[in-house]
Amino acid sequence: MAIYDPETTDPTFRSAENPTQDDWVVGAATTIGLTRSDNEDAFWADPSRGFAVADGIGGNPGGRLAATTAIASFAGALEPQASMGDALTAAATAYKEVMVAREAAGFERAGTTFVAMTAPKLSTCTIVWCGDSRLYRFRDDGLELMTADHSLGNELRSAGTSSAGNPALAGVPLGALTRYLGADGGFEPDIRIVTPQVGDRYLLCSDGVHGQLTTRVIGDVLSSTTCRGAATALVGLADMAGGRDNATAIVADALG
């Protein structure tokens, strides 16, 4: 499946599904939403190597540049049957290329969230991410979030700090990202190793999906239709919920 680049592809809506492979089948969809003039999301899905979603931040065209650069760089660098080390190397390459592209374009700020999962024939897979794009696993009728948002609010909660009634946090945007590709502080991803089982379904998505839909709605969609149907439904429901942001979903089934 080709890389989706909103600069060269109709940004209003796109949905695609690959022919069935021995190990994975995947569907993907994206929407510009109802309030944005550009789609700053980008994605890549190759059932023989892996899947990735990037959500550009920092405003057009900086966010779009960062997202498309990250996806193209990661896809170009990831080896087939990638190990954890290979995945980290490819993600580090994506970070470096985003920084190079930002400098070349003269942008003071151009960054992107990023989440990816390798797909090495149902052996252990590596999830690597920065920011608040997410990966979920649907297994045995249960939905599990496999990543943790790199946002100020989430990291405060993880540290046991409540923002309620805290004057030091008054007016602080708790959704602000603490890590992303393009940050001046360097490359700080998180990783997680998973072992897919036959029948697992994985969702990679931007916050335009998970920020507008409840986990119950996401789980209901993932349990009810094909990969392509689920991806299409998720971004469509995001638009119906207000379409406040670009929304992208990749849905991948482990076939065995």
Name the percent of the chain lying above pLDDT 90: 71
Tens digits of residue pLDDT in 24-69: 999 999 999 999 989 999 999 999 899 999 999 966 679 999 999 9
What is the model's pTM? 0.89
* Residue 167 maps to a domain: no
Name the residue among 120, 118, 124, 115 with its Cα closest to residue 196: 124
Question: Left, alpha or beta for 214 (phi > 0: left; psi -120 to 50: alpha)?
Answer: beta
* Residue 168 maps to a domain: no
Would you say 211 and 151 are in contact if contact means Cβ atoms under 8 Å apart?
no
Tens digits of residue pLDDT in 243-254: 999 999 999 999
* Residue 2 maps to a domain: no
Tens digits of residue pLDDT in 137-179: 999 999 999 999 998 777 666 665 655 556 555 455 556 889 9
Q: How many domains does the chain have?
A: 1
The model's confidence at residue 23, banded by pLDDT at 50, 70 and 90, is: confident
Distance CA 254, CA 256 (A): 6
Q: Which of 106-115, 119-128, 229-238 has the lowest mean pLDDT?
A: 119-128
* Residue 239 maps to a domain: yes
User: What burial class does residue 98 get, using C-beta atoms within 10 Å of its C-beta: 0-12 exposed, 13-18 middle, 19+ buried?
Assistant: buried
* Residue 166 maps to a domain: no
Would you say 82 and 126 are in contact if contact means Cβ atoms under 8 Å apart?
yes
Helix, strand, coil tally for the chain in percent (to 5): 30, 30, 45
**Taking all residues of the chain, what is their mean pLDDT, rounded to a whole number?**
87
Distance CA 181, CA 242 (A): 27
Residue type, 29: A
* Residue 43 maps to a domain: yes
Tens digits of residue pLDDT in 70-111: 999 999 999 888 999 999 999 999 999 999 999 999 998 899
* Residue 205 maps to a domain: yes
pLDDT reported for residue 9: 47
DSSP state of 4: B
* Residue 17 maps to a domain: yes
* Domain CATH number, residue 195: 3.60.40.10
DSSP annotation string for 186-239: ----EEEEE---TT-EEEEE-HHHHTTS-HHHHHHHHTTS-HHHHHHHHHHHHH
Distance CA 31, CA 209 (A): 10
C-alpha triplet 235, 246, 143: angle, nearest 5°: 45
Domain that holds residue 202: 13-161+174-254
Quote the distance between the C-alpha of residue 77 and its chain's center: 18
